[in-house]
Amino acid sequence: MDASIAIHGGAGTIPAAMLDAAIADEYHAALRNALQAGWNVLAKGGRALDAVTQAVIVLEDDPLFNAARGAVFTSAGTLEMDAAIMSGRGRDAGAVAGICGPKNPILGARIVLEHSGTVLMAGKGAEDFLRGQGIPFMPPEYFFSDRRWRALQLELRRREAGAPDTRSDADRHGTVGAVARDLFGDLAAATSTGGITAKPPGRIGDTPIFGAGTYADNATCAVSATGTGEVFIRYTAAAEIAARIRYGKQSLEQAADEVVAELLRHGGDGGLIAIGPAGLPELPFNSTGMYRGFIGPDGVPHTAVHRDAYRRL
């Protein structure tokens, strides 16, 4: 069995023409770090569930991406994070929604999977439960970034003025995620996000919804999505890919490509990463770009932002 991992840092990217070469290098390096953290687990014979956890932790810890440190603000200036993790073996799942506190929300999701007896916990109840489980918490300042705060102020002023929404995907949303297959053939998926800039407090997107933004089933695929969460929920994006594979006899590539195209027809821009029981991951998107990367059997990190060729390093 070949191990493999793919990651994304959100479908919201800066237009190619505006992406400074030095900043592009930063993104590629950050993606490589996350890939390598996941691959280190897989190469040693570790579990896919641990590989996606480690990859997402690296992305959460990096303020370049909209998850944990660097999360975007709600319209009330608060932070509300969602995260989810699912194992394709036994379809164990855990997710948190609308929380602020755990340094790594994905570890919160993992704790929900392993110790809560439930699969989805939200808000203060989730925070209290996780505090009792002893994972690291951080004060609000840790998650704060000037760049996200300015994005919120700009958006609030735009709304007040009734001006048209000219924000790029990058200003609007972002998500991080990983999918992996380990040497035992088990699949796993993990996703984490701060949501959408100036989202209404209480809004939950597709990240913690299994079958929408996060999904894993050894028989078909593991999926982590990023994009217009509401559309991904209404069209059960990830479950739709699995259904086309299981009952429609489509390949992972065909199913993933067609679903991403169909989501766009319904107003859902974004993309996803998907991996099946064999072969390389698929990383389709219908937006200008998607921070993404994968490592296949050769162990070489491939990273990309727009539609140009992957950097191999």
Active site residue ranges: 175
Name the minimum Å distance from CB 297 to a second copy: 30
Name the minimum Å distance from CB 280 to a second copy: 24
Closest CA to 256 of 269, 268, 270, 273: 273
Report the residue count for the chain: 313
Q: Is 126 helix (H, G, I), strand (E, B) or coil?
A: helix
Candidate residues 97, 100, 109, 225; the one interacting with a second copy per rule CB under 8 A: 97
Candidate residues 31, 151, 204, 273; the one interacting with a second copy per rule CB under 8 A: 204
Candidate residues 11, 79, 121, 263; the one interacting with a second copy per rule CB under 8 A: 121
Which residues pair with residue 181 across a beta bridge? 4, 187
Q: Does 223 bind a second copy (CB under 8 A)?
A: no
Q: How far apart are CA 301 and CA 311, in angstroms?
A: 8
| Other C-beta atoms lying within 10 Å of the C-beta of residue 266 | 12
Q: Does 93 bind a second copy (CB under 8 A)?
A: yes
Torsion-angle region of residue 39: left (phi > 0), alpha (psi -120 to 50) or beta?
alpha
Vertex 119 angle, CA 4 and 173, to 5°: 65
Candidate residues 158, 246, 306, 311; the one interacting with a second copy per rule CB under 8 A: 246
The residue range among 85-93, 171-179, 269-277, 283-291 that interacts with a second copy, by the rule CB under 8 A, is 85-93
> Which run of H or E residues covers position 238?
helix 237-246
Candidate residues 49, 209, 274, 305; the one interacting with a second copy per rule CB under 8 A: 209
Q: How far apart are CA 107 and CA 88, in angstroms?
A: 18
Q: Does 239 bind a second copy (CB under 8 A)?
A: yes
Q: Does 247 bind a second copy (CB under 8 A)?
A: yes
Query: Could you say which DSSP state residue 8 is in?
Result: E
Interface contacts to a second copy, rule CB under 8 A: 74, 80, 86, 91-93, 97-98, 116-129, 199-205, 209-212, 215, 230, 233-236, 239-240, 242-244, 246-248, 266
